[in-house]
Amino acid sequence: MSDTNDVQLYDLRRKTYPNQRGDSFRSLQVFLCPICAALTNKVVMGGYPGYGVRAVCPNSVEDWHHNLEDRVGLLHKFPHPKSYKEELQKEIDEMREAYKSLIKNDIVGNPDMNLMSAVTNTRSFHA
């Protein structure tokens, strides 16, 4: 990771960014992780599912992130009774609170915070 602010940020709306599988660069756009709410503007070309622009949560390799993702996945996986969902949501909120100090953002340069979308990968992959 670099702390320099003169790194080049690529605008994903223009097709001028590196596009070979495995290329990695910083984007003007910002990606938010729906699991842990970390921010990143690191983009990798390739990966799963299918080839393309991928933004991976910087915490995706952490065990606690997997735990949290499993709980969030449960919320969406089956139709649950409302009371169960509320319990689960409460548990997730408590986990997020507990993991707060562990959440790492990965922002380099001065990206545009108005251009925010969800990370494409909440688990790590090899490009």
Residues in touch with Zn ion (CB under 5 A): 33, 35-36, 38, 57, 59
Shortest Å, Cβ 36 to Zn ion: 3
Shortest Å, Cβ 106 to Zn ion: 10
Q: Which is nearer to Zn ion, 34 or 52 (CB)?
A: 34
Q: Which is nearer to Zn ion, 27 or 59 (CB)?
A: 59
Q: Which residue has the tokens 């925010």?
A: 116
CA gap 72, 85 in Å, rounded: 10
CA gap 6, 23 in Å, rounded: 19
Residue at 97: amino acid letter: E
Shortest Å, Cβ 42 to Zn ion: 13
Is there a contact between 28 and 12 (Cβ–Cβ < 8 Å)? yes
Q: Which is nearer to Zn ion, 18 or 73 (CB)?
A: 73
